[in-house]
C-alpha cells in the first residue's frame, strides 16, 4: 500500500501548491486550454469541409458527373470562362434516350453582369441549367418550367422566355423580389439588351457553388454571353432510374464516350478533394503544428512551475523526500492542470466553432464548415492530459538533476 500512500500524499501536496500560486495556476490552465482550442478548431474545420462537401454532392440528386476537363479562363471573352464539354444539348439527348437514365442536365458557369437597371451592374456567377424538378429546391415563387426552347435543335432561333431564378443572397444584394426585372449579360452592352423577370428563389446552385448565382436556361446563358458556338457546358449531371447501378452505367458510358471523364457521385467528390490536396495538406500541417506547439507550451509551463518551486522541492529533498515522491507530485500537478485545461478548451470549442461558422458563411457562403463533433471534443479532452504528462516527464528529468544544497543556499 506504499504506492497508494505516495499517491495520496502527492495529490495533497500538488493541490496545496496549485492553491498557493493561484494566478500561476490560472495562467497555466488558460495556456493549456488555448492549445487544446487551437487543435480542436483546426480538426473541426478539416472534418467540416469534408462532411459539407459530401453533403452537397449527396443532396444534388445526381448519380453521375460527366466532364471534359477543367474549365479554363478565357480573358477578353464574354463570360470569361471556356467550358470544356462540347455539343451539350446533343449529349444530353443521347443520354436521356437510354433506359437507365432518367435525366441528363448540362450545366454551364459563366461570369455575368447583373443589374436592376441599365446604368449600374454587379458581377455574379451565371448558371446555365434547369431550375425545375426534384433536384432544384424553390423556396419562393415558381420554377422555370419550360424546357430550353431557345436552343431549337442547335439554331438558337427559338423564343427566349427571359425568366431567371436567383438565391436569397443575390435578392438581398440587388434588393429585388419575385416579379422584378434584372438585366443580365456577358458584357455591359449585352446586359442592357436582355431584361429577365425574377420568377423564383432557390438556394440549390448557390449552396453547391458557395457563391451568389443567377440561373437561366442553358441556351439563354449561352446567348447573352456570346458562347453559343460549340454549345459548350462545364459538365453534365446525370440522374439514373431507380435501382440502377451507377458504377455499371459509368463503365458503359466511359466506353461509349472515351473523350469525357465520367465519375460517380463519390468519385467526383474524391476528385474534388484531390484538387484541393495542397489546402488539405496545409490544414493537416496546421493541426500538427498546433499539437507540437501545445506540447512545447505545456513543457515550458511545467518547467517554469518547477523552476519557481525549486526552493520548496529542494527543501523537500533535503528533508529526506525521495525522487519518486517528488516526481509523483509533479506528474499529479501536471495532470490536474491538463484536465482543467482540456475541459476549458473543449467548453470554449463549441461557441468558438459557432462564431467561425458565422464568419465562414459570410466569406464563402457555406454553412457548417466548422463541425465540432463528439470525436473531436473527446480528442480535445484527452489531448491536454497527454501533453501534460509529456511535459511532466521532462520536468521530472530536470528534477532528478536538482541539487538541494545549491538551491537552498540561493
Average of pLDDT values for 364-393? 73
State residue 340's pLDDT score.
86
State residue 401's pLDDT score.
63
Cβ atoms of 172 and 135 closer than 8 Å: no
Average of pLDDT values for 162-177? 94
State residue 77's pLDDT score.
46
72-100 pLDDT, tens digit each = 444 444 445 567 788 899 999 999 899 99
State residue 25's pLDDT score.
75
pLDDT above 60 for 410: no
- SS3 of the chain: the string is CHHHHHHHHHHHHHHHHHHHCHHHHHHHHHHHHHHHHHHHHHHHHHHHHHHHHHHHHHHCCCCEEEECCCCEECCCCCCCEECCECCHHHHHHHHHCCCCEEEEEEEEEEEEEEECCCCCCEEEEEEECCCCCCCCCCCEECCCCCCCCCCHHHCCCCCCCCEEEECHHHHHHHCCCCCCEEEEECCHHHHHHCEEEEEEECCHHHHHHCCCEEEECHHHHHHHCCCCCCCCECEEEEEECCCCCHHHHHHHHHHHCCCCEEEEHHHHHHHHHHHCHHHHHHHHHHHHHHHHHHHHHHHHHHHHHHHHCHHHHHHHHHCCCCHHHHHHHHHHHHHHHHHHHHHHHHHHHHHHHHHHHHHHHHHHCCCCCCCCCHHHHHHHHHHHHHHHHHHHHHHHHHHHCCCHHHHHCC
Average of pLDDT values for 315-320? 60
pLDDT above 90 for 373: no
Average of pLDDT values for 236-245? 86
- Most confident of the following: 9-23, 47-61, 306-320, 367-381: 367-381
324-349 pLDDT, tens digit each = 666 777 777 778 888 888 888 888 88
Report the DSSP pairing between strands 195-201 and 163-166: parallel
pTM of the model: 0.61
State residue 79's pLDDT score.
46
For a pLDDT cut of 70, what percent of the chain falls above it? 67
pLDDT above 70 for 67: yes
Could you please report the per-residue DSSP string of 366-391? -S--S---HHHHHHHHHHHHHHHHHH
State residue 76's pLDDT score.
43
Average of pLDDT values for 375-385? 80
Does 175 or 350 have the greater pLDDT score?
A: 175
State residue 280's pLDDT score.
57
Residue 403 — pLDDT band, cuts 50, 70, 90? low
250-273 pLDDT, tens digit each = 899 999 998 888 888 777 656 655
Average of pLDDT values for 160-185? 94
194-231 pLDDT, tens digit each = 999 999 999 888 877 778 999 999 999 999 998 888 89
Amino acid at each position: 500500500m506504499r504506492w497508494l500512500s505516495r499517491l495520496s500524499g502527492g495529490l495533497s501536496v500538488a493541490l496545496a501548491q496549485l492553491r498557493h500560486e493561484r494566478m500561476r495556476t490560472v495562467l497555466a490552465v488558460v495556456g493549456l486550454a488555448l492549445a487544446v482550442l487551437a487543435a480542436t478548431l483546426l480538426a473541426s474545420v478539416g472534418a467540416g469541409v469534408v462532411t459539407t462537401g459530401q453533403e452537397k454532392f449527396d443532396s444534388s440528386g445526381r448519380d453521375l458527373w460527366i466532364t471534359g476537363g477543367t474549365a479554363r479562363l478565357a480573358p477578353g471573352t464574354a463570360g470569361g470562362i471556356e467550358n470544356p464539354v462540347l455539343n451539350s444539348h446533343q449529349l444530353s439527348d443521347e443520354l436521356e434516350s437510354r433506359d437507365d437514365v432518367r435525366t441528363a442536365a448540362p450545366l454551364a458557369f459563366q461570369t455575368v453582369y447583373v443589374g436592376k437597371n441599365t446604368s449600374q451592374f454587379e458581377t455574379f456567377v451565371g448558371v446555365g441549367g434547369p431550375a425545375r424538378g426534384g433536384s432544384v429546391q424553390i423556396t419562393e415563387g415558381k420554377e422555370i418550367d419550360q424546357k430550353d426552347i431557345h436552343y431549337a435543335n442547335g439554331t438558337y432561333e427559338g423564343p427566349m422566355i427571359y425568366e431567371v431564378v436567383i438565391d436569397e443572397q443575390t435578392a438581398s444584394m440587388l434588393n429585388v423580389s419575385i416579379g422584378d426585372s434584372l438585366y443580365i449579360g456577358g458584357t455591359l452592352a449585352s446586359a442592357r439588351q436582355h431584361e429577365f423577370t425574377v420568377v423564383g428563389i432557390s438556394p440549390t446552385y448557390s449552396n453547391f457553388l458557395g457563391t451568389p448565382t443567377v440561373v437561366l436556361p442553358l441556351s439563354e446563358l449561352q446567348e447573352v454571353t456570346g458562347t453559343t458556338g460549340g454549345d459548350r457546358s462545364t459538365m453534365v449531371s446525370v440522374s439514373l432510374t431507380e435501382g440502377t447501378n451507377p458504377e455499371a452505367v459509368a463503365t458503359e458510358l466511359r466506353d461509349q464516350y472515351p473523350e469525357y471523364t465520367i465519375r460517380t457521385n463519390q468519385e467526383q467528390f474524391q476528385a474534388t478533394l484531390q484538387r484541393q490536396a495542397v489546402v488539405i495538406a496545409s490544414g493537416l500541417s496546421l493541426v500538427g503544428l498546433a499539437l507540437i506547439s501545445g506540447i512545447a507550451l505545456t513543457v515550458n509551463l511545467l518547467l517554469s512551475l518547477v523552476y519557481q518551486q525549486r526552493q520548496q522541492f529542494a527543501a523537500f529533498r533535503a528533508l529526506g523526500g525521495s525522487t519518486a515522491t517528488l516526481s509523483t507530485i509533479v506528474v499529479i500537478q501536471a495532470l490536474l492542470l491538463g484536465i482543467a485545461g482540456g475541459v476549458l478548451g473543449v467548453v470554449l470549442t463549441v461557441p468558438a466553432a459557432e462564431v467561425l461558422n458565422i464568419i465562414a458563411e459570410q466569406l464563402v457562403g457555406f454553412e457548417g464548415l466548422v463541425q465540432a463533433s463528439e470525436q473531436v471534443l473527446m480528442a480535445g479532452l484527452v489531448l491536454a492530459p497527454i501533453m501534460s504528462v509529456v511535459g511532466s516527464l521532462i520536468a521530472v528529468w530536470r528534477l532528478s538533476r536538482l541539487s538541494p544544497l545549491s538551491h537552498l543556499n540561493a
